[in-house]
Amino acid sequence: RMSESNKTVYVAIGADFGIAVSKFVAAGFTGSSGMLTEGIHSVIDTGITALMLVGSKRSAKPPDSGHPFGYGRELYYWTAVVALLLFSVGGGLSVYEGINRLIHPHTLESPYWNYGVLLVSACLSVYPFSMAYRQLRRSKPDQTIWRAIRTSKDPRIFSVLLVDAADLIGVAFAFIGVLLGQLLQSSYPDGIAALVIGLVLASVAVILANESRHLLVGETADREVVDDIRAIVEADPAVDRAHHPLTMQLGPEEVLLTLGIRFREALSAADVGEAVDRMQQAIREKRPEIKRIFLEVESLQLHRERSGAR
């Protein structure tokens, strides 16, 4: 069954492709080389977004002898690739176009095709943006949208949100550029708008790269997850003391947990085994994303012996 995150990426790809088609149609009717370039730009955007699906598919591969914890974090690698391409191709091409239009002013063409393409672009970009926004709000209802992006573990959601937000901002600046160009009979506003759009795309790419870096290095699980683990362990009657849980995000829906536990005195090995099984089951029921649990068990008597030896 397709995950909701993958559905959002598919919708974003469809929107990018639709925008590319609208630009090629406009280029065909007007003969505009600029619009043809914009169409190629949108095809590149479609390919960049499709890389998220490549990462999603590869990250779903089962563990093997070479990768015993699975391939979940490969999705974060492909997010970094998307960020690199968005910066170099998306932002770089827009900045280049803007500078070229400022250095070599072009003859103004009928703006109405541009308005039509911008309208189609806005309509198509709004839907995947709203899908990603709703998903993020559902997963982080008590956080601001910026904080939700920073703490999200699923780049399929926040990358679509950020990229489509950049597209919508770009549409707004492009509209202003076309309108001012029409009113002033000058191509300079169009060039300035392209420069601004390039800087917006480059900024989004930097944000994506930074989020990907945190996740690739090994980011901890959400604080709520850690608090739930602590509460479950400390509530168990067999536990004397629990150390702070150490967690690492292995993928959007996969967490590694290691935890040191000191059990009460006079517990038999069977009692300790039952307590460990009980806590693991409770943790997985409360937080099913915790797929790997490693518990370091220490009895109270052993702790006293070690303390006395010092």
Residue-wise pLDDT tens digits, 233-244: 999 999 988 888
**Higher pLDDT pick, 299 / 13:** 13
Assess whether pLDDT exceeds 60 at residue 157: yes
**4-217 against 223-309: fold identical:** no
In the predicted model, what is the mean pLDDT of residues 278-305? 82
Assess whether pLDDT exceeds 60 at residue 276: yes
Whole-number pLDDT of residue 82? 92
Whole-number pLDDT of residue 36? 67
Whole-number pLDDT of residue 269? 83
Least confident of 20-29, 102-111, 216-225, 281-290: 102-111
User: Using CA atoms, how far apart are residues 211 and 143, in angstroms rounded to an integer?
Assistant: 17
Pairing label, strands 290-299, 254-263: parallel
Whole-number pLDDT of residue 216? 92
| Element spanning 251, H or E | strand 246-251
Residues 229, 287: contact at Cβ < 8 Å?
yes
> How does DSSP assign 93-123, residue by residue?
HHHHHHHHHHHS------THHHHHHHHHHHH
**Higher pLDDT pick, 109 / 144:** 144
**Percentage of the chain with pLDDT > 70?**
92
In the predicted model, what is the mean pLDDT of residues 250-276? 89
The pair of structure tokens assigned to 149 is 């992006």
Q: Report the 10 Å Cβ neighbour count for 308.
A: 7
Assess whether pLDDT exceeds 80 at residue 197: yes
Domain extent listing, the chain: 4-217, 223-309
User: Using CA atoms, how far apart are residues 282 and 298, in angstroms rounded to an integer?
Assistant: 20
Single pTM value for the model = 0.86
Assign 299 a pLDDT band (cuts: 50, 70, 90).
Answer: low
Assess whether pLDDT exceeds 60 at residue 305: no
User: Using CA atoms, how far apart are residues 84 and 91, in angstroms rounded to an integer?
Assistant: 10
Whole-number pLDDT of residue 279? 94
- Distances in whole angstroms, Cα of residue 58 to Cα of each of 13, 40, 51: 18, 27, 11
Whole-number pLDDT of residue 264? 85
Work out the mean pLDDT of the chain and round it to a whole number.
87
In the predicted model, what is the mean pLDDT of residues 171-196? 87
Q: Report the 10 Å Cβ neighbour count for 69.
A: 14
Whole-number pLDDT of residue 181? 86
Q: What is the pLDDT of residues 101-139, one digit of tens each?
A: 889 887 666 778 888 888 999 999 999 999 999 999 998
What CATH number has the domain spanning 4-217?
1.20.1510.10
* Topology given in CATH for the domain delimited by 223-309: Alpha-Beta Plaits (3.30.70)
